[in-house]
Amino acid sequence: MGRLFVVNLEGKVYSCKHCKIHLALVDDILSKSFQSRHGKAYLFSKVVNVSVGEKEDRLMITGLHTVADIFCIGCGSIVGWKYEFAHEKSQKYKEGKSVLERFKVSGPDGSHYWVSHETHVGGSDADDV
């Protein structure tokens, strides 16, 4: 295995909840209205310090997409997915963008978003306000 190069971002950053490696800047958020199986998810124009998994077709709320899971390069945990191809014309804007699942990252203020095993998602998410 080769040497691991980590990009350190400056400013307000989202980082891996487990190992604290920087993943994205607040300024690169395109949307906070995404949903995952576990709750809130944010669409980013750019993420760093991730590796991209195998491409696969997934049927999502907005239609069929070819996506690849993205993994933190520090600890290997899955942190979201990358849109490789959108089959619906109206969804093409997502191509090349990445989604980070909110409960898998720490917010810019160090907050965590926890998944409740009940019917709703709860936790500290001050940066949503």
Range of the domain at 73: 13-105
Give residue 100's pLDDT: 97
Domains in the chain: how many in total? Answer: 1
| pLDDT string in tens for the chain (129-residue length) | 567 789 999 999 999 999 999 999 999 999 999 988 888 999 999 999 999 999 999 999 899 999 999 999 999 999 999 999 999 999 999 999 999 999 999 998 877 665 544 433 334 344 443
* Residue 50: Cβ within 10 Å count: 22
Does residue 118 form part of some domain?
no
Give residue 2's pLDDT: 65
- By CB atoms closer than 10 A (0-12, 13-18, 19+), residue 123 is middle
Does residue 32 form part of some domain?
yes
Does residue 6 form part of some domain?
no
Does residue 93 form part of some domain?
yes
Phi-psi category of 73—alpha, beta or left, where left has phi over 0 and alpha has psi -120 to 50? alpha
Does residue 122 form part of some domain?
no
Does residue 116 form part of some domain?
no
3-state SS assignment for residue 116: coil
* Separation of alpha carbons 8 and 88, rounded Å: 35
* Residue 24: Cβ within 10 Å count: 26
Please give the distance of CA 97 from its chain centroid, rounded to a whole number.
10
What CATH number does residue 33 fall under?
Answer: 2.170.150.20
* Separation of alpha carbons 48 and 46, rounded Å: 7
Does residue 7 form part of some domain?
no
Give residue 113's pLDDT: 66
Does residue 91 form part of some domain?
yes
